[in-house]
Amino acid sequence: MCAWKAPTYCDARSPPSTSEGASFMLAVDGISVRFGGITALDGVAFSVEPGTAVGLIGPNGAGKTTLFNCLTRRCTPDAGTVRFEDEDLLALPPHSVAGRGIARTFQNLGLFPRLTVRENVMVGAHNRGRAGHLAAALRLPRVRREERELRDQADELLRRLGLADVADHPASGLPFGTLKRVELARALAVRPRLLLLDEPVNGLSHGEVDEFADLVRAVRDDFDLTLVVVEHHMGFVMGLCDKVVCLDFGRKIAEGPPEEIQRDPAVIEAYLGVAA
C-alpha cells in the first residue's frame, strides 16, 4: 500500500498533487459544474494511482454524484480537465467510455426487472459485441458464437460473485443485497480497469455491508481493478480505501489517508456542523 501524505487544507483549485515520474490512472484537475445559479462542483482536483481505492465522501449535496457523472460523461463540466491514463476523457463521446475500460454502478439500481440475472449481466458486455446490426438480425453463426461466449463469461462472473444459483431468476423479487451483487457483476462484465462504485452499500444491513466489503476487496484483487467509491458508510470507506477525498458544497476540503481524514477538523465540521 502506498504511503499517502497527510490531508492538506488546500485551495479547492489546487491541481492534483504529483511527484516527478508519478503515474496516474485518473487525474481530475479543476472540475467545476454549474446548474443555473447553483455551483455543484468548484475546482475539484485529485488523482488516482493504478491499483488503489479512493473514497469520495461528503454530506448530501456535496457534489459526489455530479463528479461521477462527469467521469462517465453523463455531465459535461463548465471548466477543468479529466485524464484517464494518457487520454482526455472529456473529449470522448459518452458511449465510448465503457470501451476505454471504465464501468460504474448506480446508487439507484438500474437492473431490468423482467430479465434474468444472467441476462442483466450480459447487458454489461454489450460494448464488447463485434457483430453488426445486420448480422444480429440474420442470426448469423458468428452472432450465435459471440452470444455463447458472452453467456459463458457472464456465468463465470456469477459463479465468482456467488450468484450462480439465481442465474435464471428474474431480477424482480430478489433480495436487495443480491441485487447489489448483480449490479456489481454487470459492471464487471464491461471488463473495466477503473470501477466507479456509487453508494454500493446504501440500504444494506450491517452484516451485508461487511460481506460486500469482502467481495469488493476480492474482485479488486482478482480483476486488478482501480476503484473510486462514493459512499456515506464511513466504516466501509475507511476499511476499503487507500485515500479519501472529502467534498463539501462542491469544494474539496481535505484529502489523505483514511485514519487522518477521520480526525480532520474540516471534515468533522462538514459532517457535524460544528468546529472540531
The string of pLDDT tens digits covering residues 100-124 is: 999 999 988 889 999 999 999 999 9
Confidence of residue 87 (pLDDT cuts 50, 70, 90): very high
pLDDT of 14: 42
C-alpha cell at 170: 428474474
pTM: 0.86
Q: Name the amino acid, one letter, at 119.
A: E
pLDDT of 271: 87
Q: Measure the N-to-C terminal CA separation of the chain; round to a whole number of Å.
A: 29
pLDDT of 108: 86
| High-pLDDT (> 70) share of the chain, % | 85
pLDDT over 50 (residue 28): yes
pLDDT over 50 (residue 4): no
pLDDT over 80 (residue 216): yes
Average per-residue pLDDT for the chain: 88
- Where b means 16+ CB within 10 Å and e means fewer, 162-175 reads ebeebbeebbeebe
pLDDT over 90 (residue 15): no
Neighbours of 1 (CB within 10 A): 9
In terms of Cβ atoms closer than 10 Å to its own Cβ (0-12, 13-18, 19+), residue 205 is: exposed
- Where b means 16+ CB within 10 Å and e means fewer, 34-73 reads eeeeebbbbbbbbbbbebbbbbbbbeeebbbbbbbbbbbb
Taking residues 18-30, report their average pLDDT.
75
β-pair type (79-84, 26-35): antiparallel
Confidence of residue 135 (pLDDT cuts 50, 70, 90): low
Write down all domains in the chain, each with its CATH number in brackets: 26-272 (3.40.50.300)
Confidence of residue 141 (pLDDT cuts 50, 70, 90): low
C-alpha cell at 19: 511527484
